[in-house]
Amino acid sequence: MTYKIVCLDVHAPEVREIMQSMVPEGFQLEMANSYGEEEQMRLAREADFIMAGWATVPDKMIRSAKNLKLIQKWGIGYDKIAIETARELNIPVAIAAGSNAIPVAELTVGLMLCVYRKVPYVDRNLRTGRWLKTEMRGQSYMLCGKTIGLIGLGAIGKRVAKLVRCFEPRLQYYDIVKVSPDEAEELGVEYREFDDLLTTSDILSLHVPLTSETRGFIGKEQFLKMKRSAIIINTSRGGIIKEDDLVWALKEGIIAGAGLDVFETEPPLPSNPLLTMDNVVLTSHIGGGVLDNVANVTRHAFGNMQKIISGKPLTERDIVIRKIS
């Protein structure tokens, strides 16, 4: 028997080639050519396995897929999957935990540097003939000696901690689950209560999933507790920050800047004020989007599908919805 894997995302030719080359024996991979509802629904209807990264997996899609054995997130954020429908229909949902940690962490550090050194602003001006050398000294900063506060210390947060240590900052974190004292020492991080983290961090970096508990987690109340010189970095999900409140905080000088890979609405509307701000560095939800990590994520996702077929348990940290026997 051949099991059908449906990839709902529209990938570049180079990515498609890698993914097709890794399809396990006994499986067939069919990949979407568009995000149009008709094609997405058609593909999912015959699927044994749905694999989705950017694509939405809505209620009606799950209900139409009568052979569905697993919904596999190609990455980690599962906020675009109709989780309660999957739970109702006893369809397991899994992520590829940790698979994007390295590229997302690298972009996080890159955004910190770009915001502190205003790289896009300087680049844009240089291309129009403005040589901003002496002017930038009065508005640029280094990471060395700063206090970096990590909200969430999962795989990505830990990788960020490892990467930035070479800049010699002070590292602190808040998470609902504390790491062991030995791991905290190894990572060079110190636990802080949430409000304490807000008031003492020069750089606040978000690394939590978007859930009902974290939606709107950072808003006016939190910005007012931060240093006026602080910057915020978000490579997790846009909904964690109340975007209108962020615009307010940036315009009023409540905080100094932001580096954002994610937005409440993606792509952001052309009228979004963040697009015009020189103290904001923006990227288009590209945190995990690197060619040399495609094989790693794909291998992880396909491995979970093979476990489902063979009756082996999924790794605990990959499980979002567990199938009830």
Q: Which residues are catalytic?
A: 237, 266, 285
Given a contact cutoff of 8 angstroms between Cβ atoms, the answer to whether 125 and 253 are in contact is no
Distance between CA 269 and CA 276 in Å, rounded?
12
Distance between CA 146 and CA 138 in Å, rounded?
17
Q: Residue 111 corresponds to which tokens in the numbers above? A: 């955004």
Q: What does R_g of the chain's alpha carbons equal in angstroms?
A: 21
- Angle (nearest 5°) at CA 251 between 248 and 254: 75
Q: Residue 11 corresponds to which tokens in the numbers above? A: 């990938």
Distance between CA 238 and CA 17 in Å, rounded?
30
How far apart, in Å, do the first and last CA atoms of the chain sit? 23
Tokens 């209900």 belong to which residue? 63
Given a contact cutoff of 8 angstroms between Cβ atoms, the answer to whether 192 and 168 are in contact is no
Given a contact cutoff of 8 angstroms between Cβ atoms, the answer to whether 314 and 307 are in contact is yes
**What phi, psi does 274 have (nearest 5°)?**
-60, -25
Type and span of the H or E element at 6: strand 3-7
Distance between CA 260 and CA 64 in Å, rounded?
36
Distance between CA 254 and CA 256 in Å, rounded?
7
Helices (H), 81-239: 83-88, 101-117, 119-127, 134-137, 155-164, 181-187, 194-200, 220-223
**What phi, psi does 229 have (nearest 5°)?**
-90, 0
